[in-house]
């Protein structure tokens, strides 16, 4: 049967590549070093599949906003704004059979998960893949991907508790999958930031450090009690912690190793590892 061999979480801030010079060299090197730490851990885990949990930035669908979406496709090349991001365009192979299996069984369990056969993955997915799984010379992502997208911007957003429940269900389904697969999960996004909002550039370090402390101690319940209003009060993009919470569910609420926290590039960036 399949098994989850690793959990990772990392910021997907576009400024890290698109506007790298905004921060001094020591900040840049610290940021890149954190990605290298996660890349090394991922390579050691030798996954057959990398499951990504990221949010859509309202580029996927303009008229229909799914709360959760699974990409059911064979391949993708992107991101569309790779030149602005200053990263290569990558070819991504999807693990379609696993995606279809998760979709069907999540719906059967009462999760109204949407799906699409037309992938459009923006920086939320592609920037972390660039750092953690990108073969930059070959222009390919090294691992087959299952892409889960969340609604972390357009109200009403799913409660954090529902995201955690989704992650728990995904874990159970992966472990029941009739195939010998090593699966790693990668959450991207956050932490506090207010993209395009009145507090653009502000980082709520107190909120971020409380969230990371809960993550590091395994205090799931204190995070799940947060309401969308409480999280959005720290910034319009801060609800990207939903992605982390979904992955936390996949890892059964285990404490994570918080690798680092860097307030920079107009966002509270963090990196974390869950080991099996």
The confidence score (pLDDT) of residue 195 equals 82
Q: Is residue 209 part of a domain?
A: no
Specify the number of domains making up the chain. 1
Q: Per DSSP, what are the bridge partners of residue 149?
A: 54, 69
Q: At what angle do helices 241-250 and 205-217 cross, to 10 degrees?
A: 0
Q: What is the pLDDT of residue 62?
A: 60
> Across the chain, how many H-helices and E-strands are there?
10, 12
pLDDT in tens, the chain (276 residues): 899 999 999 999 999 999 999 999 999 999 999 999 999 999 999 999 999 999 987 665 567 889 999 999 999 999 998 999 999 999 999 999 999 999 999 999 999 999 999 888 999 999 999 999 999 989 999 999 999 999 999 999 999 999 999 999 999 999 999 989 999 999 999 999 988 777 777 899 999 999 999 999 999 999 999 999 999 999 999 999 999 999 999 999 999 999 999 999 999 999 999 998
183 domain-assigned: yes
Supply the CATH number for residue 27's domain.
3.40.830.10
Cis peptide before 190 (omega within 30 of 0): no
Give the Cα separation of 248 and 242 in Å (integer).
10
Q: Give how far Cα 220 sits from Cα of 138, 160, 252, Å.
A: 40, 10, 10
**Rounded Cα gap, residues 179 and 31, in angstroms:** 36
How confident is the model over 48-87, as pLDDT tens digits?
999 999 998 766 556 788 999 999 999 999 999 899 999 9
Report the SS3 class of residue 188. strand
249 occurs within a structural domain:
yes
Instruction: Give the C-alpha separation, 105 to 128, whole Å.
Output: 28
Would you call 262 helix, strand, or coil by DSSP? Answer: strand
**What pLDDT, on the 0 to 100 scale, is given for residue 60?**
55
**Residue 97 belongs to a domain:** yes
Burial grade of 18 (CB within 10 A; 0-12, 13-18, 19 or more): middle
Biggest CA-to-CA distance, the chain: 50
CA distance 276 to 254: 9
Model pTM above 0.85: yes
On whether residue 123 sits in a domain, the answer given is yes
The answer as to whether 56 is a domain residue is: yes
pLDDT of residue 58: 66
Q: How far apart are CA 202 and CA 245, in angstroms?
A: 23
Containing domain of residue 236, as a range?
3-195+215-274
Is residue 204 in some structural domain?
no
The Cα–Cα gap between 75 and 64 comes to 23
- How far is the CA of 80 from the CAs of 56, 129, 148, in angstroms? 13, 14, 18
Mapping DSSP to helix (H, G, I), strand (E, B) and coil, where does residue 21 land? Answer: helix
């Amino acid at each position: 049967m399949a098994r989850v061999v690793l959990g990772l979480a990392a910021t997907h801030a576009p400024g890290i590549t698109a506007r790298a010079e905004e921060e001094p060299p020591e900040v840049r090197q610290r940021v890149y070093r954190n990605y290298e730490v996660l890349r090394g851990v991922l390579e050691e885990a030798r996954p057959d599949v990398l499951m990504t949990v990221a949010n859509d930035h309202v580029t996927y669908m303009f008229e229909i906003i799914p709360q959760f979406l699974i990409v059911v496709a064979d391949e993708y090349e992107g991101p569309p704004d790779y030149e602005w991001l200053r990263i290569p365009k990558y070819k991504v192979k999807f693990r379609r059979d696993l995606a279809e299996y998760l979709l069907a069984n999540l719906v059967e369990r009462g999760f109204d998960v949407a799906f699409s056969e037309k992938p459009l993955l923006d920086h939320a997915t592609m920037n972390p893949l660039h750092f953690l799984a990108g073969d930059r010379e070959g222009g390919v992502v090294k691992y087959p991907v299952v892409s889960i997208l969340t609604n972390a911007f357009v109200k009403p957003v799913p409660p954090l508790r529902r995201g955690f429940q989704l992650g728990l269900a995904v874990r159970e389904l992966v472990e029941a999958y009739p195939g010998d697969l090593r699966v790693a999960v990668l959450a991207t996004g956050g932490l506090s930031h207010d993209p395009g909002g009145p507090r653009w550039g502000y980082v709520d370090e107190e909120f971020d450090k409380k969230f990371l402390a809960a993550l590091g101690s395994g205090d799931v319940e204190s995070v799940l009690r947060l309401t969308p209003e409480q999280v959005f009060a720290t910034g319009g993009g801060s609800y990207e912690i939903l992605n982390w919470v979904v992955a936390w569910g996949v890892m059964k609420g285990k404490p994570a190793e918080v690798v680092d926290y860097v307030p920079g590039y107009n966002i509270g960036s963090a990196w974390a590892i869950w080991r099996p």
